[in-house]
Amino acid sequence: MSRSKDREHLETMRRLNPDYQGFRGVAREPTQPGNTVLQTVTCSVCGRKRNVPRGVAQEQGERYVCLACQERQGKVPLPGPTYSLEAP
């Protein structure tokens, strides 16, 4: 789209909804995974530092095992979101 069409679209959206903040939406939406509070924890098997949700870090503490080590050991991780920093 051209700049003029972008501006027209933005003006139209703001007329329809005065709270419209642009095409990027609300800056911090709690349902997005990027807004989860993370804490650094060291894996008890490989010794690598991992960023995991604060609740998981507090629950498992020093006995935390990262997803990569769980897969190498043959353990099946619990269903749900995974938080591994390794490249595929």
Q: What is the mean pLDDT of the chain?
A: 75
Q: Establish if 84 belongs to a structural domain.
A: no
Q: What is the mean pLDDT of residues 9-29?
A: 70
Q: Is the C-alpha dihedral spanning 54, 58, 60, 61 positive or negative?
A: positive
Residue 60: inside a domain: yes
Per the CB < 8 A criterion, the answer to whether 54 and 38 are in contact is yes
**Count of domains forming the chain:** 1
Instruction: Determine, yes or no, domain membership for 22.
Output: no
Q: Are 53 and 34 in contact (CB under 8 A)?
A: no
pLDDT band for position 49 (50/70/90)? very high
Confidence of residue 18 (pLDDT cuts 50, 70, 90): confident
pTM of the model: 0.46
19 domain residue, yes or no: no
* Model confidence at 84: pLDDT above 70: no
Q: What is the residue range of 69's domain? A: 37-77
Residue 83 lies in a domain: no
Nearest to 37 by CA among 60, 58, 16: 58
Per-residue confidence (pLDDT) for residue 67, from 0 to 100: 86
